A and B are shown apart, each in its own frame.
Chain A
Amino acid sequence: MTATMTKAKAPKASARDRRGAPRAARRRGPSAYAVLVALIALAGIMLIPFLVVVANALKTPEEYAANGPLAPPEGFNLDGVRDFWERVDFGHVLLNSVLISGSVAVLAVLLSVLNAYALGIGRIRGRMWVLVLLLMANTLPQEALVYPLYYLSKQLGLYDTRLSVIIVFTVVQSAFGTYLLSSVMSAFPRPLLEAARIDGANRWQVLWRVVVPVVRPTLSVLLVFFFVWTWNEFLIPLVFLISNENQTVSVALGVLQGQRLMDATMSSAAALLGLLPTVLFFLVFQRTLSRGLTAGAIK
């Protein structure tokens, strides 16, 4: 119990420390610089494939054939990108992905919070088994669900709709959220809950005014994970979204890749357009997250 108390107080203490004694304790020995250099090298290795993609997306097919994949592009040629954009009506496909992933991220976080409140804070009887059961949503291989889901969605008239994919992935993603949040909430300081209850707050108010603000950093991490995971899903969207107007980025690219109609420069143009939105989203999230964390700590 004492362990959880110190844990919960830690963020406040750290914020105070960082403001109070800012950079005084910093010592940069040679070993610290060695670590920094090693990490920068690792970061470089992680980034090289991205650079190769960008470089080749800007080449003409002739240039690629003549100079190979490693040469830097001679000019700024967006023909490959434009060709690909027009061929798959990429703007529309992008909108579908944003709509589906965004809806799933918000709905799945909401569902995770409700589930985790009952399991982690409520500690209802048999919570371990409920948790294991809910976890199956994300742990089951989707191959074991895709045939029956296909069949059922046809019966319900939901086949080839974006709504069907949103519903499926809200449930699938919320399993991880429930697991992580239950684990975090079970370490929630009980006296804080009891104090709120004594002050006359009901369970619903305790959830939104006491519990959610404290676990907010975890929620923003979950929001990002859910968005990205749904964006990247392939098998179920491929089976469910057969008409062009409903396709997601992954499905459109997968279909095109399967047809083997793309040359090397168009492949990299496709890869560039496919990864740009998620990279952009991620860069934005980086800032929101660090801001969110500080805001939470000062309160």
Chain B
Amino acid sequence: MTTRDGGAGRPRAGLRSRERLAYLPYLVPGVLLFTAVIGVPFLMNLGTSFTEWSGVGSPRWVGLDNYRELAEDAEFWASFRHNVLVIVGMAIVPTAVGLVLASVLTDVIDRRFGPRTAAALRACVYLPQVLPVVITGVVWSWLLAPENGAVNELLDAVGLGSLAHDWLGDPATALWSVLGVMVWMQIGFPLVVFMSGLQRVDPSLYEAAEIDGAAWARRFWHVTVPQIRPEIFVVLLWTTIAALKAFPQIFVLTKGGPGGATNVPSYYSYVSFFEKTDVGYGSAIATVLTLIIIALTVVFLRVQGRDLGEER
């Protein structure tokens, strides 16, 4: 992006920067609100992470003690490994599946069976996204219940009763069950963003590709994916970050259990805050999580910036 301004526009550089400054007032409300709601509280949390504090009284400065304790905490590292799988369930699988679905709905269903059919199918897949996480928790912990649960009853009904299981209560299956629920919940988000991106694409591009004899797979790689590349970046970054903050899902489905089998850092920090009332330690976990998310965001934006820069 910046390379374009370089050589050619040099004589007008002064004008350019004055022109850009004129847009600054539009950023003022956003920056002020950000400072009050995010900036200051974040710094307060950072400060607390260097202290020992139970939430009442005055915090006691302990330097890096909380972070040292964290580095040796096996429970903390286990929660991290779980989070890697949660990223697969909430970001990678939904983005990949959403991309294929968006392409099929736009390229095949919309053109062969009409936009109404495509919109109806999109609505069905998106529906779980509108469900509050709390409701999803109520619904799925009850569908997956060991006694009288709909999933087990369904397995029984089709003669697979031997597979019936305490899905969320068995450490061997709890995390996988949670991941399954997450895929169900998450898939509509990439789909809707990708399909709205594909609205930009000129249908004659597809028609031309088809007349040239390009099969669906080729149209997918050479028309769909390049055209909505900005959306793919946005969705992948967004869902990955959401996966690192999977607190409500874990809270309503398993409370990190059984025996920590589904614990993730965001839930672990919550437990430290409100159950162990170890606010300093909770702040340290939240700070580490924050640093990971910031690093990830910077890397993503860099890659995206370079990628879109090359295109131009």
A residues apposed to B, CB below 8 Å: 1, 3-4, 6-7, 9-11, 13-14, 17-18, 23, 25-28, 32, 35-36, 39-40, 42-44, 46-47, 49-50, 52-53, 68-70, 111, 114-115, 117-119, 121-125, 128, 130-149, 151-152, 167-168, 170-172, 174, 176, 178-180, 183-184, 186-187, 203, 207, 217-218, 221, 228, 231-232, 234-235, 249-250, 253-254, 257, 264, 267-268, 270-271, 274-275, 278-279, 281-283, 286, 290, 293
Q: Is B270 an interface residue (CB 8 A)?
A: yes
Which residue in A148, A172, A174, A274 is a CB contact (below 8 Å) of B44? A148
Taking a contact as CB atoms closer than 8 A, the residue among A1, A25, A124, A283 that contacts B23 in the complex is A124
In the complex, what's the smallest C-beta–C-beta distance from A29 to chain B, in angstroms?
8
The CA-CA distance from A130 to B27 in the complex, in Å, is 9
Pick the contact of B283 from A28, A138, A144 — CB < 8 Å?
A144
- Kindly list chain A residues whose C-beta atoms are within 8 Å of the C-beta of B45: 144-145, 147-148
Question: What are 27 A-B pairs at a CB distance below 8 A?
Answer: A10-B202, A13-B202, A26-B111, A26-B112, A27-B112, A35-B109, A39-B104, A39-B109, A46-B184, A47-B124, A115-B27, A118-B24, A133-B34, A134-B30, A137-B34, A143-B286, A144-B286, A145-B38, A183-B233, A232-B134, A234-B134, A235-B248, A253-B132, A257-B138, A271-B135, A271-B139, A274-B134
CA distance A171 to B203 in the complex (A): 37
- A36 engages B109 (CB within 8 Å): yes
Instruction: Chain B residues near A146: list those with CB within 8 A.
Output: 273
Contact of A253 among B134, B142, B238, B248 (CB under 8 A): B134
Check A203–B23 contact: CB distance below 8 A. Answer: yes
Quote the shortest CB–CB distance from A86 to chain B (angstroms): 19
Chain B 190-211 interface residues, beta-carbon cutoff 8 Å to A: 192-193, 196, 199-204, 207
Distance A50 CA – B120 CA, assembled complex (angstroms): 16
Q: Is B29 an interface residue (CB 8 A)?
A: yes
Known contacts A46-B184, A68-B148, A278-B132: does B199 contact A217 (CB below 8 Å)?
yes
Is B78 among interface residues, defined by CB-CB distance under 8 A?
no
Identify the closest chain B residue to A289 (Cβ): B196
**B150 contacts which chain A residues (CB < 8 A)?**
52, 69-70
Contact: A131 with B127, CB < 8 Å? Answer: no
Q: CB distance B124 to A148 under 8 Å?
A: no
Contacts A130-B31, A232-B132 known; list 7 others, CB within 8 Å: A11-B200, A32-B112, A70-B157, A140-B293, A143-B269, A144-B283, A235-B270
Collect the chain A residues with CB atoms within 8 Å of residue B282's CB: 143
Q: Distance in Å from the Cβ of B126 to the closest Cβ of chain A?
A: 7
The verdict on A143 contacting B273 (CB below 8 Å), with A52-B150, A218-B196 known, is yes
Check A69–B148 contact: CB distance below 8 A: yes
Interface 9-mer from B62-70, B160-168, B297-305: B297-305
- Give Cα distance in the complex from A128 to B121, angstroms: 37
A49 CB to closest chain B CB (Å) equals 6
CB pair A111–B199 under 8 Å, yes or no, is no
For A139, list chain B residues within 8 Å (CB): 241, 293-294, 297
| Across-interface contacts of B22 in A (CB, < 8 A) | 122, 203
Interface contact tally, CB-CB below 8 A: 297
CA distance A283 to B38 in the complex (A): 34
**Would you give the shortest CB distance from A8 to chain B, in whole angstroms?**
8
User: When the two chains form their complex, are residues B283 and A141 in contact, meaning their CB atoms are under 8 A apart?
Assistant: no
A6 to B118 CA separation, bound complex (whole angstroms): 25
A231 to B136, CA, bound (A): 13
CA distance A117 to B24 in the complex (A): 9
User: In the bound complex, what is the Cα–Cα distance between A39 and B285 (angstroms)?
Assistant: 42
Distance between Cα atoms of A293 and B132 in the complex (Å): 27
A179 vs B123: C-alpha distance when bound (angstroms): 25
Q: How far is the CA of A141 from the CA of B42 in the complex (A)?
A: 10
Q: Which of A147, A186, A270 contacts B273 (CB 8 A)?
A: A147
Enumerate chain A residues within 8 angstroms of B34, measured Cβ to Cβ.
Answer: 133-134, 137, 171
Cα(A1)–Cα(B308), bound, Å: 11
Q: For the complex of A and B, list the 10 residue pairs with the smallest distance between their C-beta atoms, beginning with the closest.
A: A122-B23, A148-B41, A43-B124, A144-B286, A148-B44, A118-B26, A278-B130, A10-B202, A232-B132, A118-B27
A149 touching B26 in the complex, CB below 8 Å, given contacts A141-B269, A186-B1: no
Residue in chain A with minimal CB distance to B47: A148
